[in-house]
Structure formats: C-alpha cells, structure tokens
Amino acid sequence: MLAYAYAMPELSVNIDHVATLRNARMGHEPDPLRAAHEVELGGADGVTVHLREDRRHIRDEDVHRLRDAVNVRFNLEMAATDEMVEIALAVRPHSVMLVPEGRREVTTEGGLDVAGQIAHLSDVVERFRGTSSFVSAFIDADPRQVDAAAEAGFAICEIHTGPYAERHRDHGGDLRQGPLADELERVRAAGERIRSAGMRFNAGHALNYHNVRPIAALEGVEELHIGHAVVSRAVYVGLRAATRDMRDLVGF
C-alpha cells in the first residue's frame, strides 16, 4: 500500500524553454529573468535551469543574471564536467543537480549512472564541500543507484519520473493498472531508500497537470521539478497562472 505525505512538496519550475523560444529568433525576448519573476509570483518555491554543454537554450549570462535576481531557491542542472563544475563554483547556486547529457537527445533520457562512475562523481561532490550549494543526483528509481549516490556523498537524489509518466499516459492514469502501479511503487520505494540513507527525496521529469498528484502525494518527497508542462500551459494562460495552477495541484 502506498504511503502519503502530510506536508506538500515544494515546486521548482524549469524555465529552459522560455530561453528556447528566445533563441529561435536569436533575440532578447522572452527574457528568462522575467520568466523567473513570473513563476515566483505564481507561487514557485524555486527556479531551475539546465546549462547544457551546447548552450541550446540557457546561456552562461542567463545563469549569472538569474542567480543575482531570483528571490527563491535557484537550482542549476548540469553535466558533471570540469567546465560546468567551474561555472557552478563561481555562480554558487543554492543547489546543483548532476544529470547525464547527450548531444543528440531532445531532453534528458534517463538517470545518471552514479554506480558506474562513483569515483568521478565523488570527486565532483567533494569540490562543492564547504560551499553553500547542495549537490543532487538525478537518478532512476534503482536501489543500486540510490546506494551509490549515498556512498558518493550526494545530499539529494531526484528520481527520474519519466517511466512513471509514460505508464500514466499508456493507462489513462488508472492506478489499478499493474504497470502504472508498479512504476509508482518503484518511485515510492526509491524515495524511502533515499530518506533512509539520510538524503533528500526529490522527483521530476515529464510530470504534468494530469500525472503529478500521485507523485506529489508520496511520503517524504520534498521537491518536484517541472518545466515543459508549465511553460506549455503558459502559452494559453500566462506563466504566472500556469505556475499557480501547478502549485495548486502539488498542494492537492
């Protein structure tokens, strides 16, 4: 049986695709900084951006401007490369989330293989020790990866909810369907293991207005990272309202 939380998780909104729209014309609008302020006014607890190696959406100058101006928690997603670590050490975001990155992928396609590169990732985590930045691992709901993240010294694990979102769509959100129930249970069990290891339990990827509530209701989940769904809805209702609508769902 699934366990449910009494305290609602916080919401961090990823604004990458505001920058994608700006870059389509190589201009200056829409401005990610204004987008950050809109999601703040909509009730977001944090702002997330992913500085990719190919700079396909968020750029270096965006990261610096946002860190100086954002009034809520600022989360920087990045690959675990020397270049990105140096940028993050200079910017000092509130949290740094290490993610796998492929040049040909449309979006992040899976969790970080912490177990397969534990020595390197332990070194990366160590470089942030003594700074104000918490370090998070974006991982699949796999006990082996949770245990490796704890060994590497991560403070936070964010569980990749993409497989759950796929099953939710396949089965129309019917939690009586075995494949969907199984995926939700995998996320729940991973979250319990994360918390038992003394790390924070976050979740994100492919969450939207239709599938977020069962994840938000899991016991101990502290923060959800949601981007594309919020920015997509903003086309119709505005970014502030889209954030408020998601905040209401997360708070159920």
When pLDDT is averaged across residues 225-248 and rounded to a whole number, the result is: 98
4: which strand partners? 218
Query: Is 63 part of a structural domain of the chain?
Result: yes
The CA–CA distances, whole Å, from 130 to 70, 126, 154, 228 equal 22, 9, 13, 33
Q: How many domains does the chain have?
A: 1
Q: What is the pLDDT of residue 148?
A: 98
Which residue among 38, 40, 77, 101 is the active-site one? 77
Helices marked H in the chain: 16-24, 32-41, 60-69, 82-91, 118-127, 143-152, 162-170, 178-196, 212-216, 228-237, 239-251
Quote the domain boundaries for residue 221: 10-251
pLDDT of 26 > 90? The answer is: no
Query: Is 130 part of a structural domain of the chain?
Result: yes
- Identify the CA nearest to 184 among candidates 200, 173, 196, 195: 173
Q: What is the pTM of this model?
A: 0.93
Which residue among 17, 160, 168, 205 is the active-site one? 205
When pLDDT is averaged across residues 88-101 and rounded to a whole number, the result is: 97
205 catalytic, yes or no?
yes
The dihedral of CA 123, 132, 138, 179: what is its sign?
positive
Query: Is 2 part of a structural domain of the chain?
Result: no
Q: What is the pLDDT of residue 108?
A: 58
Query: Is 5 part of a structural domain of the chain?
Result: no
Q: What is the pLDDT of residue 110?
A: 86
* CATH code where residue 193 lies: 3.20.20.70
More confident residue, 105 or 85: 85
Separation CA 145–CA 42 (nearest Å): 34
77 catalytic, yes or no?
yes
Query: Is 27 part of a structural domain of the chain?
Result: yes
pLDDT in tens, 183-233: 999 999 999 999 999 999 999 999 999 999 999 999 999 999 999 999 999
Q: What is the pLDDT of residue 15?
A: 98
Query: Is 4 part of a structural domain of the chain?
Result: no
Q: What is the pLDDT of residue 4?
A: 44
- Going by pLDDT thresholds of 50, 70 and 90, the confidence category of residue 37 is very high
120 catalytic, yes or no?
no
pLDDT in tens, 46-78: 999 999 999 999 999 999 999 999 999 999 999
Query: Is 3 part of a structural domain of the chain?
Result: no
pLDDT of 3 > 60? The answer is: no
Percentage of the chain exceeding pLDDT 70: 94
User: Which of 79-88, 106-115, 148-157, 202-211 has the least mean pLDDT?
Assistant: 106-115
Query: Is 95 part of a structural domain of the chain?
Result: yes
Structure tokens given for 112: 């970080």
pLDDT of 168 > 50? The answer is: yes
